Structure formats: structure tokens, C-alpha cells
Amino acid sequence: MSDDSTTQCLLFPGIFRKPVLAQFDQREGSSDGGALLVKAADRHYGLVAGLSSCLRDDRQAGKVDHTLRELVAQRVFSIACGYPDANDSARLSGDPIHKLLLDRDPIEGRDLASQPTLSRFENGVGVKELYRAGEFLAESVIRRHAKRLRHRTYRVTIDLDPTDDPTHGAQQLSFFNGHYDTWCYLPVMGFVSFNDEAEQYLCAAVLRPGNVTAAVGAVAMLRRLVGIIRHHLPGVRIRVRLDGGFAHPAVLAFLDAQPRLEYLVAMAKNAVLKRVAEPGMRRARQLSKRSGKTEHIYGEVRYAARKWPCQRRVIIKAEVVRAADKDPKNNPRFVITNMKQSPQWIYEHVYCQRGDIENRIKELHALEIDRTSCTSFWANQFRVLLTAAAYVLMQELRLRAAGTACARAQVGMLRERLLKLGARVLLSVRRVVVHLPDSFPFLPAFRRVALALGAATG
């Protein structure tokens, strides 16, 4: 920080009862005092150590100031704290809390890596290393929750969903996507949930070119996730829920071939399905006209598309939607499934539950998983993985906050409530003392999370 006194202070005259002088001279201070929780969460996952072990270091040992583990930790922890870009390192290099997170002396320790160092690091990761890192991320999430549930898991549900990642430069494999009407990447996110729990935990994040269809790469992704789940939770029943973009013959063939696997895949309407659904639509229109509200009727049919080798069960939701000052709108929906329960139960109690994935995707965008501004496609994939790791740690904090005001907070709100704490760091011979505000309004939640992650009262 500059020693120029004109930039070190601000005067607020005539606003308060006395003139107020704000001085920016607290060299032992940080605005991320609560980030200690992220470090504690990583101890349970081992994400930083695991991801760094997947990478190869080709640098000359005598010229290395920052280990791969330190570089991974710096990026993951800073992303969790709201600094998604490597350029942010210029402002964080001397921050005592961020140095403490990397096991450095918070006051006298060496500064963190600079932006050029981080950029070289991100651009130096190869395809095989990225594959190993992605596989480790999935394994660590599934292993963590298998241990949390003490292997009393009877069902694991996999949800895949693509999202748009608009690009604004000359990034490799950035293409125009007509559906989103922009130049973009089209990453796909994989989530797992356990038993009847509502939370969907991120376990995979794969960047893809902007002009691919939703189903591209889905079979490989599902095969990897199913294999990891069966390895860590042998005998568990797996359920897969996908939206209409994944209704591809190869995806359905893979799902049909898996033992002890249930699936629900939405399907776009076509002339044949609309004709089959018409009796239900007529009934729904009658009910809607009578009640003046949205009404729906459920049904099913055995159906085989042209490229399918056999007939599959298709659930029909014949729905008429009514809104104020608008004409009734036909809204038939179709879901392919191998489940045996009634159409209404399957649609309302199983398929509709995947809708919460949209909130998880929004949280990932809040962490700026779309900050893919490197020229190299693989460097951008690495950024996506680092952001995914930060999100996994934030989900761990939310899990540990059960029973508090932060139990259902979105990740952005969780960061504001638990991580963004003004702190003063003091160093003695025996310990580091982090002074946090006495008036902190979310202290009960912070204390609950800290104790759950291994802190002790003192």
C-alpha cells in the first residue's frame, strides 16, 4: 500500500457530529477474517492437496517460489472469498488472512503469487492432468458423503444440467449458440444427492465448446460417475434425472444397460406424442375452463422413436396453464423412464425435484464459474475446476450450518455472512490471534460451523 497520506485516509466533514477520518493504515488487517472456515472445510475434503497431486510440475526446482499446492490453495480460497480472477492477486498478495490460509507467517511471510505467476500456472495444465483432477473432485465428494452417512445410503441421484458461459474475446472453442443467442461455452454440471436429502452436491464440471448439444459427453460423464458411486457405495441404487436435451439414443442405451439404475429423461414433444396426449389435453382443457385455474392430467404410453431399438415407457403430463389476462396455454410434457410407479407420483415426487438444480447453477454463476477469460480452452477448463472446488467447500460450510440462520443461505449470502469479516491479525511466539468483531451478528452460525469443522472452545 502506498505511503502517500492523501490516499491513506478519507475525511467526512459535516456528516457526523464530529469530523470522521478514515485511515487505511491497518497493515495487520483483512476483510476476509472468516475465510478460516474455508481452510477448515478443506481439511475434511483434502481438495487442495488432492487437486495439486493431479498436476505435474515441470518448473526448475531452484527457481520455484510457490509450490503447486500453494498455487491451487491460493486460487481456490480466493475464489471462495469472492476474487475469481487472477488479477485479484495484486490486491491480495500481502493480505495476512490469505497468507495464513497458505500456512505462511501472516505478518512477515512471503507474499502470495502474482498475477503473471498464476496465469502461467493456469495455462500450464495439460489435458491428462485435468482429467485426473476432475475425477478426483468427483471421488472426493462422493467419498465425503458416503463417510458422512456412515454408508447408510440406499439411493444416489445424479443430475446433469448444461448452462451458458458467454465469452467476450478470442477464447478457443467459443462458438455462437442460437439457443442462447450469444457466443459462449456450454459447460455441463453434475450433481449428486443422497437418499431423500434436498441438497444437490456438485461433483463434476466439464467445459464444452459453445456449439455442442446438451448430450455431447454425457455418456462418458455418466459412466465415470456411476463407476465412482458403485466403487464407494457398492449395492446402492442409482437414479439419473436429465432434461430434454439429453434424450439421445446413446444416452438412453447406456442407462438401459446399467443394473440397479432408475432414470427419468425429459423428451421434446413431437407429432406422435402430441396426438397420443390429445385425449388428456381435452380433459385438462375442460377442467381448466370449469375451475379457471391451471389443470393437468397424467397418462403414459409405450413409445419407440425412429432411432430407438425398442419401446420405452413415456409418462405424459397433459397440462393447460392459465395466467391472469392471458389465454389458456397447452403445455404437454413427456418423460422417458424405466420406473414402475404411477405417472403422477414419478413426475411430481421424483422428476420435479430436479428443478432445484437451477438454484445450484445460479450459485455457481455467483461464484463466477463463467470467468473463463483465458485464451486457452484447457486453461479455462482448469478455472472451472478450481471454481467447482471452491463451491464444494462452500457447500460444506452450508451443511455444517444446519440449524442456524445460514442453513439455507445461498452461497453468495453465506460468503457475506461468514467469510467477509473485518479482522486484525496479531502474531506472538506461540500462536496467531485473529481478532474478529464483537458485534458480529452471525456469531452463533459461525461458532456452530467452526466447532463442526474441528475448532475447540477456549
pLDDT in tens, 424-451: 999 888 899 999 998 889 999 999 999 9
For residue 21, pLDDT over 90 is answered with no
DSSP SS3 for 96: helix
**pLDDT digits over 89-125, tens only?**
888 889 999 999 999 999 988 999 999 999 999 999 9
Q: Rounded to an integer, what distance in angstroms lies between the CA atom of residue 136 and that of residue 240?
A: 21
- Residue at 178: amino acid letter: G
DSSP one-letter code for 173: T
What's the full length of the chain, in residues?
458
φ/ψ of residue 85, rounded to 5: -105, 150
Percent of the chain residues past pLDDT 90, beyond the cut: 79
Task: Check residue 6 and give its pLDDT.
Answer: 46
Task: Check residue 58 and give its pLDDT.
Answer: 86
For residue 276, pLDDT over 50 is answered with yes
Determine which of 201-210, 319-328, 389-398, 439-448 has the lowest per-residue pLDDT on average: 319-328
Beta bridge partners of 10: 22
Q: In Å, how far are 35, 76, 81, 104 from 109, measured between CA atoms?
A: 18, 20, 21, 5
φ/ψ of residue 28, rounded to 5: -100, 15
Whether residue 224 contacts residue 138, with contact meaning beta carbons closer than 8 Å, is answered with yes
Determine which of 84-88, 196-200, 226-230 has the lowest per-residue pLDDT on average: 84-88
Q: Using 50, 70 and 90 to split pLDDT, how confident is the model at 151? A: confident
**pLDDT digits over 385-426, tens only?**
999 999 999 999 999 999 999 999 999 999 999 999 999 999
C-alpha cell at 285: 382443457
Q: Rounded to an integer, what distance in angstroms lies between the CA atom of residue 329 and that of residue 85?
A: 45
Task: Check residue 1 and give its pLDDT.
Answer: 39
Whether residue 133 contacts residue 206, with contact meaning beta carbons closer than 8 Å, is answered with no
For the chain, give the mean pLDDT.
92
CB atoms within 10 A of CB 119: 16
- Residue in the block written with cell 526446482: 61
Task: Check residue 7 and give its pLDDT.
Answer: 57
